[in-house]
Amino acid sequence: MLIVMQMDAEAEQIDAVVEVVEQRGLKAHPIVGAQRTAIGITGNIGIVEPALFQHMPGVLEVIQVSHPYKLVSREFHREDSVFEVAGVKIGGSELVVMAGPCSVESYEQTLGIARAIKASGAHMLRGGAFKPRSSPYSFQGLGREGLEILARVREETGLPVITEALDIDVLDEVVEFTDIVQIGARNMQNFTLLKRAGRCGRPVLLKRGMSATVTELLLAAEYIMDQGNTQVILCERGIRTFADHTRNTLDVAAFPAVKRISHLPIIADPSHAAGYRDKVLPLSLAALAAGADGLLVEVHDRPDQALSDGGQALLPDDFEELMTVLRSLAPVLARVLPEHATP
């Protein structure tokens, strides 16, 4: 932390700041400039509370120099984190594609979509059993029945599964049935859920909150890692802006921004970013070109009858086209798109 003093700060005011620093067992390093003095602080573990100094006489501003996160940062772990989930590599040079319906609606629907996406080359099946809906009157998901359907379809197709844990009450049940636990955008700062997910023994896909900064996303991941879970996948799914031509705005710059700071893999959800099927393919390409490690895409065979998010769901043929384009794009980006992750 750096405390910048006002130009006319008096020597006693500088001394008073130094005294507060030293009272806390930290070291103060006054740097006397031509116009003003700044005081550097060292010896702190974690963040020093800025409020300690902000309102002291003679203080102009308090600047945070070090970052509030550690486990997620490249300073802690230089290389990209790469891990395997049920035979699927996440991170590193390989791209991962997770696809499926927004909601699990029935066994037949889920199996049909799973077969189609597998034939096109998807590596994992997505599908929500517990749905976070804006309205309490909208379809809330099949709950446990949905989890059981996912397990049966996993058995049938060999595709590993990712599904959302909506709260701590259902986390253990979800863990029983899924390969990756999804934490949704609305829960990105549900700290109780994050801590529990950090102890759940499964990899976690953490979606960026719709109004969260990259720093807040990384701090949310830090909560999970702090509990001992090193297998965290970040997901950029679009943020709220004034733009109304899409449901959310895919923050393409988030990929290089995260990669610069963090070793964690980050994938894109172009479906919730776009909100409209026709924009899913271009946003997928933009995300991968910007450094995303894969995609989480919604696919439905009868989107007009889908119980949630039909407008943004790709038809199986659209998904086939997306995978074909990805096969050409991957080598250009020096990435590998594995043919099939599961036997």
**Which residues contact Mn ion by CB under 5 A?**
102, 309
Q: What pairs with residue 73 in β-bridges?
A: 262
Cα separation, 137 vs 135, in Å, equals 5
| Residue closest to ligand PEP when measured from CB atoms | 184
Q: Which does 62 bind (CB under 5 to 8 A by kind): Mn ion, ligand PEP, none?
A: none
Q: 183 or 219: whose CB is closer to ligand PEP?
A: 183
CA distances from 240 to 71, 188, 237 (A): 28, 15, 10
The first and second tokens of residue 137, run together, are 């009157």
Least distance CB 119 / Mn ion (angstroms): 22
CA distances from 97 to 69, 94, 271, 293 (A): 28, 10, 13, 9
Least distance CB 117 / Mn ion (angstroms): 15
| Residue closest to Mn ion when measured from CB atoms | 102
Q: 144 or 186: whose CB is closer to ligand PEP?
A: 186
Least distance CB 165 / Mn ion (angstroms): 15
The first and second tokens of residue 179, run together, are 């390969």
Please report, for the chain, how many H helices and E strands are present, in that order: 11, 14
Q: 1 or 165: whose CB is closer to Mn ion?
A: 165
Q: Which does 146 bind (CB under 5 to 8 A by kind): Mn ion, ligand PEP, none?
A: none
Least distance CB 308 / Mn ion (angstroms): 6
Helices (H), ranges, the chain: 11-23, 51-54, 107-120, 144-157, 168-177, 191-198, 214-226, 254-261, 270-274, 280-289, 316-332
Half-sphere exposure for 194 (CA within 13 Å, toward CB): 24
Q: 123 or 237: whose CB is closer to ligand PEP?
A: 237
Q: 70 or 186: whose CB is closer to ligand PEP?
A: 186
Q: 309 or 318: whose CB is closer to Mn ion?
A: 309
Q: Which does 184 bind (CB under 5 to 8 A by kind): Mn ion, ligand PEP, none?
A: ligand PEP
Q: Which does 237 bind (CB under 5 to 8 A by kind): Mn ion, ligand PEP, none?
A: ligand PEP
Sign of the dihedral defined by the CA atoms of residues 187, 193, 194, 197, in that order? negative
Vertex 204 angle, CA 202 and 205, to 5°: 150
What are the backbone dihedrals phi and psi of residue 269, each rounded to the nearest 5 degrees, phi first? -110, 90
- Binding residues (CB under 6 A) for ligand PEP: these are 102, 128, 132, 184-186, 207, 237, 269, 272
Q: Are 151 and 177 in contact (CB under 8 A)?
A: yes
Q: 37 or 182: whose CB is closer to Mn ion?
A: 182
Least distance CB 297 / Mn ion (angstroms): 10
Least distance CB 186 / Mn ion (angstroms): 12
Least distance CB 161 / ligand PEP (angstroms): 13
